[in-house]
Chains A and B, each alone.
Chain A
Amino acid sequence: MTRREGPGDAFDDRIHLTAVDEFLAWGKEHSLFYLLFATACCGIELMQAGGPRYDVDRLGMIPRATPRQADLMIVAGTITHKMASRVRTLWEQMGEPRWVVSMGSCANSGGPFSKWSYSVLNGIDKYVPVDVYVPGCPPRPEALIDGVMALRERVRRYRTLGERSTEPHVVAGHEAPFGARCQLPPPDAPAGDGGRA
């Protein structure tokens, strides 16, 4: 009996024993279709992540033009006050379960525009719940892929039928000393703005 790629225990090539929830999570993890949604500079890096060198297709990530077919929204780029409600609308159109990766400083916190700009929203997490923050201005495609891998760990633990746990978001690329990812308190924790204020 050898452990093979896939959920649960495999007895031979054909028989896997697993829980339905685990099986569904395994399927979701390996087919994170993302919404083709780019607003600014990070959008170019998002495209290059989908390009031939970084090729996120190999992770089962295929861009979808409509939010109704997408599992994952990568908020790539600056979100202005005018755009923010549209992002919320797009997010609402996505089917459950849905995930959000905030890519780049602008989507995380307003980035270089947070201090002086009158029109830029300081962090998309004020409009949609964010699962993974990817820092960088813009993040390299490797950083984005690292964020996606962090998200996949989350997707693997997602339970469609069982009790859902509310997990804190993660910041990609911030490794704790023992290899576990650095986890910040959830945005609604009493400590304040997720430790980023």
Chain B
Amino acid sequence: MTVEASTPAGERMTLNMGPHHPATHGVLRIVVESDGEVVARCTPDHGYLHRSIEKIGECVEWPMFVPYTDRIDYVCAMNANLAYCVAVERLLASDPATTVVVPRRAECIRVLVAELNRISSHLIAVGAMAMDVGAYTPFLHGIAQREAVNDIFEKLCGQRLTYNYVTIGGVAFDLHDGAVAEIAAFLDQFEREMQRFNRLVTTNTIFRDRCAGLAVVDAAQAIAWGLVGPNLRGSGVDFDLRRDESYGIYGELDVRVPKGEAFAGRHGRQGDAYDRYVVRLLEIQESVRLCRAVLQLLPPAADKPADPLGGHQAEVSKILRKVPKGAVHVRTEAPRGEMGYWIVSDGGKVPFRVRCRTGSFTAAGMFQHVMRGIFLADVVAVIGSFDVVVPEIDR
């Protein structure tokens, strides 16, 4: 549904959305040149939340950077922790003397918390998208379920949002007593809740028709613009780093990758806003399945060498005073797509360079392309469908 701009450039109106706007997911600013109700040009303006996290990475010691990764993407802090820790571990593995073996139980817990966090992150994404198109209630349903995940994480590590839980070489704490039963119970009730959510929003005709055929990105475009994660899969590209470039114990799990198939029906096209939305919901289902699978794999806590606590951590912090020289780039699949770290070490206890590549950045770059010719009222729906989180763009 695109309309060509007809009036000459002088008659266009420039509309400023943000940096404070209730639907721009933080402090994103978009300058929209509109021709009547149609967007003629859209320019994102970034940097309102540039917190110089990458520079901080060059100032603090290796393990001290983990809390800052929380703040790169606070909606899925566990995944952000995991990405950095996997990258540092890969760098340490370049020298046999400094290789850190992550205990198997810790590996399982990592996947468990990453998938739980993916669920809670996607809940915000789909809820916020529904809110952006004018339905406030679904967001509250999403928040209510997110609280349940927060409760689990709070028992696990004491924090609700920024966890600092995944550490280099393992995880900070073992699962608390009764955690397995608690998580299993959550997954059961969550699945029932999601069916209700789908009846309320996903199959809602108004919502579906609003998003159908909106901001279509075909597979070739998605690859050319560097889209990642659910946005890329929404365009029908079958690519998931958990399966295709697996890290941790993802290789042992059978990760099924959903992709966009013009779910909106007659008016829908592959890679439209509705596809991106549905792919997120399917990924929530997939994460529930993966959580159950990991709970099966979880070795018993009595297995002391696999205990993520204890002497292992002290040994790792000794190794981290002298990280071998070299550079490594590791990409992981975070809820907003590829989260990659390029880390350079000059052999000291402080990284020489920490570069973070995040999914929201490329998605925000895509705005100027997909927003051309859509209606003004759809701008927020498109932002919501790409699920950008501003600190991921600005860092």
Contact = CB atoms under 8 A, between A and B. Distances in A.
Interface of A: 36-41, 43-45, 47-48, 51-53, 63, 65, 67, 77-78, 80, 82-83, 86, 90, 112-113, 116-120, 137-138, 140
Contacts of B390: 39-40
B176 interface: no
A43 B53 CA distance: 19
A80 B48 contact: yes
A123 to B, nearest CB: 15
B49 A118 contact: no
B75 interface: yes
A106 to B, nearest CB: 8
Contact of B56 (A44, A83, A116): A116
B140 A52 contact: yes
A86 B48 CA distance: 10
Interface in B60-119: 60, 67-68, 70-71, 74-75
B48 A48 contact: no
Given A40-B74, A86-B19, A138-B161, A51 B49 contact: no
Contact of A113 (B19, B52, B70): B52
A38 B55 contact: no
A58 B60 CA distance: 43
B236 interface: no
A108 to B, nearest CB: 15
22 contacts: A36-B22, A41-B74, A41-B161, A45-B160, A47-B143, A51-B140, A51-B144, A51-B147, A52-B140, A52-B147, A53-B143, A63-B22, A82-B48, A82-B50, A83-B19, A83-B27, A86-B48, A112-B67, A116-B52, A117-B55, A119-B50, A119-B51
B20 interface: yes
B162 interface: yes
B146 interface: yes
A48 B162 contact: no
Contacts of A45: 160-161
Nearest to A43: B26
Given A45-B160, A51-B140, A78-B49, 18 more contacts: A37-B20, A38-B26, A39-B49, A41-B70, A44-B161, A48-B160, A77-B49, A80-B51, A82-B47, A82-B50, A83-B19, A83-B48, A112-B68, A112-B71, A116-B52, A116-B59, A117-B53, A138-B160
A17 B67 CA distance: 55
A53 B147 contact: yes
A90 B162 contact: no
A140 B143 contact: no
Nearest to B67: A112
A113 B56 contact: yes
A40 B71 contact: yes
B77 to A, nearest CB: 8
B124 interface: yes
Contacts of B51: 40, 78, 80, 113, 117, 119-120
B124 A44 contact: yes
A14 to B, nearest CB: 36
B52 A120 contact: yes
B186 to A, nearest CB: 15
B391 interface: yes
Contacts of A82: 47-48, 50
A82 B71 CA distance: 18
Interface string B251-268: 000000000000000000
Nearest to B19: A86
Given A83-B27, A117-B51, A52 B160 contact: no
Q: Nearest 7 pairs between A and B by C-beta?
A: A51-B143, A41-B74, A65-B22, A117-B52, A116-B59, A116-B56, A83-B48
A82 B45 CA distance: 11
A51 B48 CA distance: 26
A29 B56 CA distance: 42
Contacts of A41: 70-71, 74, 161-162, 391
Contacts of B71: 40-41, 112
Contacts of B27: 39, 83
B56 A40 contact: no
Interface string B6-35: 000000000000011010001100000000
Nearest to A36: B22
A125 B74 CA distance: 24
A41 B22 CA distance: 15
A51 B144 CA distance: 7
A140 B53 CA distance: 23
Contacts of A44: 74-75, 124, 161
Interface string B363-395: 000000000000000000000000000110000
A67 B71 CA distance: 27
A36 B146 CA distance: 20
A93 to B, nearest CB: 10
A41 B160 CA distance: 11
Contacts of A39: 26-27, 48-49, 390
Contacts of A112: 67-68, 71
Interface string B274-286: 0000000000000
A153 to B, nearest CB: 26
Nearest to B47: A82
Contacts of B147: 48, 51-53
